[in-house]
Chain A
Amino acid sequence: EVQLVESGGGLVQPGGSLRLSCAASGFTFSSYWMHWVRQAPGKGLEWVSRINGDGSSTTYADSVKGRFTISRDNAKNTLYLQMNSLRAEDTAVYYCATSIVGADGHWGQGTLVTVSS
């Protein structure tokens, strides 16, 4: 069974940093592109970033480019999102997912990031 478990969310001040993790199991992690998607409170879904299987290719939404960094450790079956220079508008539940438009669309339960002073 595919499992994705996010962690690392919490309360952070504007301008601060946070690193999210997503522990994966039940599938061959290194074979999959992985994604981060976020959802602000009461709002819709927003795609944030993706990384290919070996970590050599990354893509970001314009809203986070230059501030967020996606990475992965295939030996630990773990996906990361390093978030710097956080803003109030980054407040959201962050989900990791195996696919956005493909057949293997598995999502974690999400971790809440709150940016506030």
Chain B
Amino acid sequence: QSALTQPASVSGSPGQSITISCTGTSSDVGGYNYVSWYQQHPDKAPKLMIYDVSNRPSGVSNRFSGSKSGNTASLTISGLQAEDEADYYCSSYTSSSTPYVFGTGTKVTVL
């Protein structure tokens, strides 16, 4: 099972919006609405930001939103803030023998 494909880095200025893509196949992202997004600051554990493609856990800012089209899921961060600078990973349920797969990770830089 190959990792889902994410851009290595995305950057934006404070207040701007950025979008991170997560591309898989019909066996994972495209086949199920079980896509999550995690934020990870350096030397910290991942934090759930989005689940089931577009749902936010309680306590997560509404500046974070998720969507999916075909085999590609996306995370949009609007009103970019300095504290959003972190690594972001998508994850998906898969139909393979390994039931979960993560994305390659995207480093978000706030300019």
Give the chain A neighbours of B38 by CB distance below 8 A: 45, 105
Give the chain B neighbours of A105 by CB distance below 8 A: 36, 38, 48, 51, 57
Give the chain B neighbours of A47 by CB distance below 8 A: 91, 98-102
The 9 closest A-B pairs by CB, nearest first: A105-B48, A101-B34, A47-B100, A45-B102, A107-B45, A44-B105, A100-B100, A101-B36, A103-B51
Contact A46 B91 (CB under 8 A): no
User: What is the 8 Å Cβ interface bit string for chain A, positions 39-52, against chain B (1 contact, 0 not)?
Assistant: 00000111100100
* B30 smallest CB distance to A (angstroms): 14
User: What is the 8 Å Cβ interface bit string for chain B, positions 26-51, against chain A (1 contact, 0 not)?
Assistant: 00000000111010000011111001
* A66 smallest CB distance to B (angstroms): 13
Instruction: Give residues in B with beta carbon < 8 Å to A.
Output: 1, 3, 34-36, 38, 44-48, 51-52, 55, 57, 89, 91-93, 97-105
Contact B89 A95 (CB under 8 A): no
Beyond the given A61-B98, A100-B93, A102-B34, could you list 13 further A-B residue pairs with CB under 8 A, ordered by the A residue number?
Answer: A44-B104, A45-B91, A45-B105, A47-B102, A62-B97, A62-B98, A100-B100, A101-B52, A102-B36, A103-B57, A105-B36, A105-B48, A107-B46
Give the chain B neighbours of A99 by CB distance below 8 A: 48, 51
- A/B interface sample: 25 pairs, CB < 8 A: A35-B100, A44-B3, A44-B102, A44-B103, A44-B104, A45-B46, A45-B91, A45-B102, A47-B91, A47-B98, A47-B100, A61-B98, A99-B48, A100-B36, A100-B91, A100-B93, A101-B51, A101-B52, A101-B100, A103-B52, A105-B48, A107-B46, A107-B47, A109-B45, A110-B45
